Amino acid sequence: MKPLFARVYRVEPVLQAIVAPAEIAPWPDYRAIFVNPRRIEGGIAFWTAQEALLARAEREYGVPAEIIVAIIGVETFYGRIPGRWRVVEALATLAFDYPPRANFFRGELENYLLLARDSGLDVFSVRGSYAGAIGLPQFMPGSLRRYAVDFDGDGAIDLSRNTADAIGSVANFLKQHGWRPGEAVQRREGIPDQDAGERAIDLGTEQRIGLANFQVLMRYNRSPLYAAAVADLSEVLKKNRGQSPIFLERR
Contact 198, 211 (CB under 8 A): yes
| Pair 173, 145: CB distance under 8 Å | no
Residue count of the chain: 251
Three-state secondary structure call for residue 210: strand
Half-sphere exposure of 185 (CA within 13 A, CB side): 21
For residues 148 and 119, the answer to whether their CB atoms sit within 8 Å is: no
For residue 67, which of 176, 174, 145 has the smallest C-alpha distance?
A: 174
Query: Which amino acid makes up residue 3?
Result: P
Q: Are 160 and 121 in contact (CB under 8 A)?
A: no
Chain CA centroid to CA 18, Å: 16
Bridge partners, 86 (sequence order): 127
Nearest partner of 9 among 93, 122, 100, judged by Cα: 93
Report strand pairing: 186-187 vs 207-210: antiparallel
Distance (Å, whole) CA 89 – CA 61: 34
Residue 75 is a catalytic residue: yes
Angle between helices 212-220 and 224-240 (to 10 degrees): 110
The catalytically annotated residue of 58, 75, 108, 198 is 75
Return the active site residues.
Answer: 75
